[in-house]
Amino acid sequence: MTIPDCTFKILMLGSSSTGKTSLSERYITGLFNPNIKLTVGVEFYVKTVAYEGKQIKLQIWDLGGESRFRFLLPTYCLGSSGALFLFDLTRPNTLLSLDSWIKIVREKNGDLPIILVGNKADLVEARKISKEIGIQTAQDNKLIKYIDVSAKMGENVEELFQTITKVMFERAFK
């Protein structure tokens, strides 16, 4: 077993049923599970990837999106290297909670790199939030990027995790 050169903690944030667990499992296993259960508290995923000649251990902390679990966020976000904020492209109200999540994370971790992620891009006919709105929201909130993904189809999942890994790596080794 290879010992990682470094470990990065990634927070998966967002309202319930935005696909945080589906996205985590798709990235870790390469598979989509249509029978995901509600995350109670937090779930953990780990994947080791090669980047710039180093072995990087990614710890993905998938936080339950229901408001009753929000009290856990200040403690869980300590020591994080990056975050992904997911919203459901078919449910505009899931984007509205961005401010409250980011406020807590930035209070505990300062200028943590956060990517805004519009999930369920495969539901083209039901889409209610345009890519342009996603990009503008990311810029307005000083997030590093906006990416559309589909956990179901695997669209842009690797790109998303490669992007956050690159940003975390650059911050850690510069």
- What's the confidence (pLDDT) of residue 71? 61
- Do the domain assignments include residue 61? yes
User: Is 52 domain-assigned?
Assistant: yes
Q: Does a structural domain hold residue 1? A: no
Q: What type of residue sits at position 40? A: V
Residue 80 pairs in a beta bridge with none
pLDDT at 40: 59
Does 54 score more than 90 pLDDT?
yes
Number of domains in the chain: 1
**CATH for 118:** 3.40.50.300
Range of the domain at 41: 6-172
Torsion angle of alpha carbons 75, 96, 138, 45, nearest 10°?
40
Q: Is residue 60 within a helix (H) or strand (E), and if so which, with residue range?
A: strand 54-63
What's the whole-model pTM score? 0.92
DSSP state of 2: P
Is the confidence at residue 150, as pLDDT, over 60? Answer: yes
Label residue 90 exposed, middle or buried (CB < 10 Å: 0-12, 13-18, 19+): middle
Give the whole-angstrom CA distance, residue 129 versus residue 111: 26
- Measured in whole angstroms, the distance separating CA 54 from the mean position of its chain's CA atoms is 22
Q: Tell me the pLDDT tens digit for each residue of 95-136.
A: 998 888 888 888 888 889 999 999 999 999 999 999 999 999
Query: For residue 43, what pLDDT band results from cuts at 50, 70 and 90?
Result: confident
Task: Flag whether 42 is in a domain.
Answer: yes
Residue 129 within any structural domain of the chain: yes
